[in-house]
Amino acid sequence: MVHVVMSDLLRAEAQRPGSRWAEEINQKLPTGALVGVELSTAVLRRFVDELPLWEGKTYLLDGFPRNLEQAMGFDMQVGRARGTISLICSPQIMEERRAKRARSDDRSEIAEARYQGYLNETVPAIAFLEHYCHEVKQVSSNKDGEEGWRIFRLALGVGREQ
């Protein structure tokens, strides 16, 4: 399985010389705003196209899709996903984890805006995916470390307990 972090792809795209998306990315990421579907799918498409022998591998797209437009755009422009894992975490634990990180785009007011975006935009996208596309697994991400990883792997069907 290849773990692909969407925000890392966007940050790399913003640093790519001559990127037509750099300005939008640099404006939106620090504020917690979502980038447009054309940008997000273009960045994912470039990533997939540049991979050697990407077919037949499983990719975990971390942080994508964030809204209904991105979910539909991915389906049309990149391909049909086999499944979705929705990580559910309490707001208190999210805040504890955010406070431990030291990123300029991770201030409490931005985290709150991202959480509101999740409620207003991501939840409807998850409902769409579940209803029209494929299974959506709801998985608790309240646990850290080995226990959290074990729960996540079980949801993926990797490392089933005997």
Residue range 7-32, pLDDT digits in tens: 999 999 999 999 999 999 999 988 87
Average pLDDT over residues 110-136: 86
pLDDT tens-digit map of 40-54: 988 988 887 887 765
**DSSP code, position 101:** -
Q: What is this structure's pTM?
A: 0.76
Q: Which two tokens stand for residue 36?
A: 């447009």
Q: Residue 126: which of 86, 87, 88 has the closest Cα?
A: 86
- The Cα 142–Cα 132 span in angstroms is 28
Q: How far is CA 32 from CA 110, 113, 145, in A?
A: 6, 7, 26
* pLDDT number for residue 22: 95
* pLDDT number for residue 27: 93
* pLDDT number for residue 53: 63
- The Cα 59–Cα 1 span in angstroms is 6
What is the gyration radius of the CA atoms in the chain, in angstroms?
16
* pLDDT number for residue 159: 57
* pLDDT at 65 exceeding the cut of 60: yes
* pLDDT number for residue 117: 86
Q: Residue 126: which of 78, 79, 44, 66 has the closest Cα?
A: 66
Q: Give strand pairing partners of 62.
A: 5
